[in-house]
Amino acid sequence: MDRKVRVRFAPSPTGPLHIGGVRTALYNYLFARQNGGDMILRIEDTDSNRFVPGAEDYINESLAWLGIGIDEGVREGGAYGPYRQSERRDIYRVHVRRLLDEGKAYYAFDTPEALKAAREADPNFIYDANTRMKMENSLTLPADEVRRRIDAGEQYTVRFLIEPGREVKVRDRIRGEVTVNSSILDDKVLYKSADDLPTYHLANIVDDHLMEVTHVIRGEEWLPSAPLHVLLYEALGWADTMPEFVHLPLLLKPVGNGKLSKRDGDKLGFPVFPLEWHDPKSGEVSSGYRERGYLPQAVVNFLALLGWNPGDDSELMTMQELIDKFSFDHCSKSGAKFDFKKGIWFNHEYLKETPDDQLAALFMPELEKRGIEGFTPEYTARALGMVKGRANLIGDLWEQADFFFEAPAEYNPKDVKKRWSADTPRIMGELVGVLEGIDDMTSANAEKVVLGWIEANGYHLGNVMNAFRLAVVGACRGPHMFDITELMPKDEVIGRIRAAVERIGATEG
């Protein structure tokens, strides 16, 4: 019987969500949407030592910003809740009990010191069929002693009894079949009495089963845990409905070998987190794609192609196109180099296509940061529309459009040298008169009048126009001059010409 596709993104709230985790969430989402399935967000917070306040909110906010929709989760609710593992203790207890009763797991009382001593005596020590009978556990202690210790409140763990010498087969959608001999596995801790919580492994399997998850799509770093997970499904009697495993390729450093790390980002100047993160303990701030001026659609498009390709050479794809085209058949086994420059290219492409009014809204914080106010959204939108093709990140828009919002503080010395001569103040004075006489400042009309005046007087077109630009923009850059003067109030344009005549004239003589 075909089951409804149900996938889950299952982060542990131990800090900011890494960009690799975002890609995992995205692939889960694309697969769920493509198959009309459900996307679950499960918070795996069973490790109280690694819990970081604010991390769960950060995860929610990141996914929302990127448009990765969640159908069931802590915020969304759903029929399979609770979706935070720390709220599911009662559920896990039942299954730990069952494994103990069926002799598939056992109590262990070894103290951290005893385990450390065992590891010191033998660096290859693992808790398994060869060593378990030498340790302090319910396999070696009499039953009444075990009972007595538990009743006395002694701390214990419950370990999974792994039968050695078995061939464990993991079927992975991307890697094919991987076989591992159970003798290399250790008797993993499944539960700790100290916090009355299971460990990741048990909680993860129990929840995937109870939440009717059909595909476990996660990073390759979890592949080594998969054989243990297969054995757990069997031990719990759920082998028939075991989800399909899909282990995604690693994200690799942009240069050199190995896994992408935060340090690569710091060194080369790109974020490895979706949103800015303020570490609650150290106060350290790590940069995020959102705050750096990336558009969420660009980040999604860029990430989608790290480890997957559409089978043709399309690059720019909307979320819907990604949903339609996504396929595990085109996911690679080998790691994907994190080409952050490609990410910047994607952002450039998306920025260019963003409607001007939306850009204006995204640009507001840039204006606020500089204490600039008094411009209508329409003015801002038209200004940005003229320069958006020249920017990569939202922040770059300021460098391109600054003169629309503030008069030049200085004039580019090279341009002054090249374009401003002794005669220029006089010609600029005439230009002021010409502009004052124009009622219709639309680009085409102003251009016609001004060029007519230049021609009639035999002036040098390039020099006059560049001096004009220098006065208004502060340098010989920017969009078409008459588009600028169509948007800017005429008295502002004239004021800037007069100011330039005064200031440059005084310094250059």
- Using CB under 6 A as the criterion, which residues of the chain lie in contact with ligand GLU when the complex forms? 10-12, 44, 200, 204, 218, 222
In the complex, the smallest distance separating the C-beta of residue 341 from ligand GLU, rounded to whole angstroms, is 28
Q: Find how far residue 82's CA is from the centre of its chain.
A: 26
For residue 493, give the nearest of 420, 432, 437 by alpha carbon.
Answer: 432
Q: Phi and psi (nearest 5°) for 244?
A: -80, 135
Q: E strands along 37-143, which residues?
A: 38-41, 105-108
> 8 vs 469, which CB is nearer to ligand GLU?
8
Nearer to ligand GLU, 44 or 483 (CB): 44
d(CA 221, CA 483): 54
E strand spans, 10-148:
38-41, 105-108
φ, ψ (nearest 5 deg) of residue 361? -65, -40
Element containing residue 190 per DSSP (H, E): strand 189-192
Angle formed at CA 57 by CA 52 and CA 62, multiple of 5 degrees? 115
- Complex with ligand GLU: residue 11 or 37, whichever CB lies closer: 11
For ligand GLU, give the closer residue by CB, 62 or 204: 204
Of 418, 410, 437, 436, nearest to 495 by C-alpha is 436
Annotated catalytic, 262? yes
Nearer to ligand GLU, 12 or 157 (CB): 12
Please tell me the distance from the alpha carbon of residue 109 to that of residue 127, in angstroms, as a whole number. 13
Q: Which is nearer to ligand GLU, 24 or 354 (CB)?
A: 24
Residue 326 identity (one-letter amino acid): F
Catalytic residue among 192, 259, 262, 342: 262
Neighbouring CB atoms inside 10 A of 79's CB total: 8
CA distance 298 to 302: 6
Contact 8, 42 (CB under 8 A): yes
Is 311 buried (19+), middle (13-18) or exposed (0-12) by CB count in 10 A?
A: exposed
CB neighbour class for 96 (10 Å; exposed up to 12, middle 13-18, buried from 19): middle
Nearer to ligand GLU by Cβ, of 195 and 321: the residue is 195
Amino acid (one-letter) located at 156: Y
Nearest residue (CB) to ligand GLU, 12 versus 182: 12
Rounded alpha-carbon distances, angstroms, from residue 221 to 218, 226, 230: 8, 10, 16
Radius of gyration of the chain (CA): 32
Whose structure tokens read 């093709």?
389
CB of 343 to ligand GLU, least distance (A): 23
- Extract the tokens encoding 359: 């850009």
Residue 308 Cβ, how far from ligand GLU at the closest point, in Å?
18
Q: Which residue has the tokens 């996911």?
A: 331
Instruction: Output 188 or 218, the one with its CB closest to ligand GLU.
Output: 218
Q: In whole angstroms, how close is the CB of 73 to ligand GLU at the nearest point?
A: 14
Sole residue written with tokens 């169509």: 486
CA distances from 297 to 22, 245, 309, 477 (A): 13, 28, 17, 30
Q: Looking at beta carbons only, is 246 or 471 nearer to ligand GLU?
A: 246
What are φ and ψ of residue 439, in 5° steps?
A: -90, -40
Using CB atoms within 10 A of its CB, is residue 225 exposed (0-12), middle (13-18) or buried (19+)?
A: middle
For residues 429 and 498, give the distance between their C-alpha atoms in angstroms, rounded to a whole number.
8
Preceding peptide of 82 cis, ω within 30°? yes
Q: At its nearest, how many Å lie between ligand GLU and the CB of residue 33? A: 19
Q: Catalytic residue numbers?
A: 262
